Chain A
């Protein structure tokens, strides 16, 4: 189910400003890849290009080749809508739909895709809430409580469950724990660890320990360019580039 991602010479703009200057990298399937780098280095822009969310910002555009499995997502005739269904995304701030119950939040994607069978939806909702390690906490008021009534950490896990429900092949996470407290953060990290068995996970983080804990590979971005991509252990012990070393040892950024 999980597929790899091949990125070739990806460029992205906000208006006239070029934010990514031709990124080329491979993301391995069924692994977690962390993207690290100082603020404004383009790491968020990069993942938002992987499911064509970047272009939803007014005046923003992207160019280049991004292959998810066999599909060139910027190719002619590829619809952004279908790509986003295949590439799930979890955002920095939890964004459950406040007017929907917990149950409906998870079911939202399924219903969009035309699943009407109540039994089927119920099974998927339970499975996804279990995968997101939220089931036990919410199972008693699935349809009574609003998605917005949960705590911040629970909301973020709900958003992960919501993303999982449409059975994506890739899961993008844009600093998923940066708005959360330490306990919630560790729960999310455990979750990422278990998710990477079934999904290709790309996680943006400014927290290097987090990258070291959850990712198999780590990519270091600086000013819109990919400086280095390697096994996480290698990046954090013997990086190949001086700039990477400066960054992880805290000499700048």
Chain B
């Protein structure tokens, strides 16, 4: 969302490393010597250097994180290789580690969450941009913003004491009675498990989807709406062919961004998913995610291989979220950046 209005670059007193060829810096530099701020020249260098250092520290930190994660997981990587991600035996006592149940749990809980959150988030965005009466717009968007600000651990707390009993007493019996035949809703109803974890994840990522969707909808040029209206489109038809159709790639980006969040979400999921490394078809059954196994077992992991296996899960999670986030950014940029080009 970088600002489209960018001020004309003023040539710096510090010779710009990239643009030595242009005559600008020299002119300015001559000018500055006229004023005679010789000390300013050095101060400028120091100031520029300090800012550069801050910026470089961001690069350094990310590199450090990556290398640390790699070094700490080397033991496990060498021991298990790719098998680590395809086997499902998690036995700290025997020193045998396979991350498949966690990968499964992470993917299933995230996808289920998106399944619920995507329509909801898009609906909320449409409501806020198009349907909401003007005076209600600001308070409503404030409330959605608050939803995004609630800490994960509080979602978890609320989930444990409010959502889980509701699930156990009402939702799960209902689902079992009507959809039990599918096999997704059967077995003992603990309350905790894959289902409530996905529901809480869905609530948590809705604000991400709705805010990105709003942004890309606003990026669709006004003439597209007029074109649809002038053809005799109803409001919904105008939104469908004049707005959503043009914004769909960006909306996809918002959903992918939410996926990135959901994959790495830790506390609320850990408190609700049941933490059992099993691959079960029923969504009533407990599961485990990559983030929650780290949260739960990291401090108990005493021997090096166990610790290393957990860090490798963290490394994998990190790499996957990077890829997912880059994908999301690309999709969103293609709408918000390119819209002026596309409109002409």
Give chain B residues whose Cβ lies under 8 Å from the Cβ of A1.
Answer: none
Give chain A residues whose Cβ lies under 8 Å from the Cβ of B233.
Answer: 81, 84, 112
Minimum distance in angstroms from B131 CB to a CB of chain A: 14
Give chain B residues whose Cβ lies under 8 Å from the Cβ of A235.
Answer: none
Give chain A residues whose Cβ lies under 8 Å from the Cβ of B227.
Answer: 91, 95-97, 159, 162
Q: Which of B9-46 contact A (CB under 8 A)?
A: none
**Number of contacting residues on B, CB 8 A?**
22
Minimum distance in angstroms from B32 CB to a CB of chain A: 46
A91-B226, A108-B241 as given contacts; A97 in contact with B232, CB under 8 Å: no
Q: How far is the CA of A159 from the CA of B230 in the complex (A)?
A: 11
Q: Is the CB of B245 within 8 A of A163?
A: no
Q: Which of B223-243 contact A (CB under 8 A)?
A: 223-234, 237, 241-242
Q: Is the CB of B246 within 8 A of A98?
A: yes
Minimum distance in angstroms from B155 CB to a CB of chain A: 37
- Of A85, A96, A112, chain B has the most CB atoms within 10 Å of the CB of A112
Interface residue from A93, A100, A166 paired with B231 (Cβ < 8 Å): A166
A99-B245, A108-B241, A148-B342 as given contacts; A163 in contact with B230, CB under 8 Å: yes
Q: How far is the CA of A97 from the CA of B242 in the complex (A)?
A: 7
B235-264 to A contact mask, C-beta < 8 Å, 1/0: 001000110011010000000000000000
A30-68 to B contact mask, C-beta < 8 Å, 1/0: 000000000000000000000101001000000000000
Q: Tell me whether chain B's interface is mostly helix, strand or loop, or mixed.
A: helix
Give chain A residues whose Cβ lies under 8 Å from the Cβ of B245.
Answer: 97, 99-100
Q: Is the CB of A95 within 8 A of B223?
A: yes
Minimum distance in angstroms from B122 CB to a CB of chain A: 17
Give chain A residues whose Cβ lies under 8 Å from the Cβ of B230.
Answer: 51, 53, 84, 88-89, 91, 163
Q: Is the CB of A56 within 8 A of B226?
A: yes
Give chain B residues whose Cβ lies under 8 Å from the Cβ of A163.
Answer: 230-231
Give chain B residues whose Cβ lies under 8 Å from the Cβ of A152.
Answer: 344
Q: Which of A90-114 contact B (CB under 8 A)?
A: 91, 93, 95-100, 108-109, 112-113
Q: How large is the interface on A (under 10, 10 to 19, 20 to 34, 35 or more residues)?
A: 20 to 34
Q: Is the CB of B223 within 8 A of A113?
A: no
B203-225 to A contact mask, C-beta < 8 Å, 1/0: 00000000000000000010111
Residue of B nearest to A155 (CB): B344
- Of B229, B237, B248, chain A has the most CB atoms within 10 Å of the CB of B229
Q: Is the CB of A112 within 8 A of B237?
A: yes
Give chain A residues whose Cβ lies under 8 Å from the Cβ of B224.
Answer: 95, 97
Q: Is the CB of A81 within 8 A of B223?
A: no
A67-88 to B contact mask, C-beta < 8 Å, 1/0: 0000000000000011111101
A97-B242, A99-B245 as given contacts; A91 in contact with B223, CB under 8 Å: yes
Give chain A residues whose Cβ lies under 8 Å from the Cβ of B228.
Answer: 97, 108
Residue of A nearest to B233 (CB): A112
Q: How far is the CA of A158 from the CA of B26 in the complex (A)?
A: 52
Q: How far is the CA of A35 from the CA of B344 in the complex (A)?
A: 26
Minimum distance in angstroms from B178 CB to a CB of chain A: 35
Q: Is the CB of A93 within 8 A of B223?
A: yes
Interface residue from B232, B242, B246, B248 paired with A84 (Cβ < 8 Å): B232
Q: How far is the CA of A164 from the CA of B242 in the complex (A)?
A: 18
Residue of B nearest to A146 (CB): B342
Q: How far is the CA of A84 from the CA of B228 in the complex (A)?
A: 10
A91-B223, A97-B241, A97-B245 as given contacts; A108 in contact with B231, CB under 8 Å: yes
Minimum distance in angstroms from B229 CB to a CB of chain A: 6
Give chain B residues whose Cβ lies under 8 Å from the Cβ of A162.
Answer: 227, 231
Q: Which of B305-344 contact A (CB under 8 A)?
A: 342-344
Minimum distance in angstroms from B191 CB to a CB of chain A: 45
Q: Is the CB of B342 within 8 A of A81?
A: no
Chain A residues in the interface with B (C-beta under 8 A):
51, 53, 56, 81-86, 88-89, 91, 93, 95-100, 108-109, 112-113, 148, 152, 159, 162-163, 166
The 10 closest A-B pairs by CB, nearest first: A85-B232, A95-B223, A89-B230, A109-B231, A84-B232, A95-B227, A98-B342, A99-B245, A81-B234, A81-B232
Q: A85-B232, A97-B224, A100-B245 are in contact. List 15 more A-B contacts (CB 8 A).
A: A51-B230, A82-B232, A84-B233, A88-B230, A88-B231, A93-B343, A98-B246, A98-B342, A108-B228, A112-B232, A112-B237, A112-B241, A148-B342, A152-B344, A166-B231
18 A-B interface contacts by CB (under 8 A): A56-B229, A84-B229, A84-B230, A86-B232, A89-B230, A93-B223, A95-B221, A95-B224, A95-B343, A97-B242, A99-B245, A108-B228, A108-B241, A109-B232, A112-B231, A112-B233, A162-B231, A163-B230
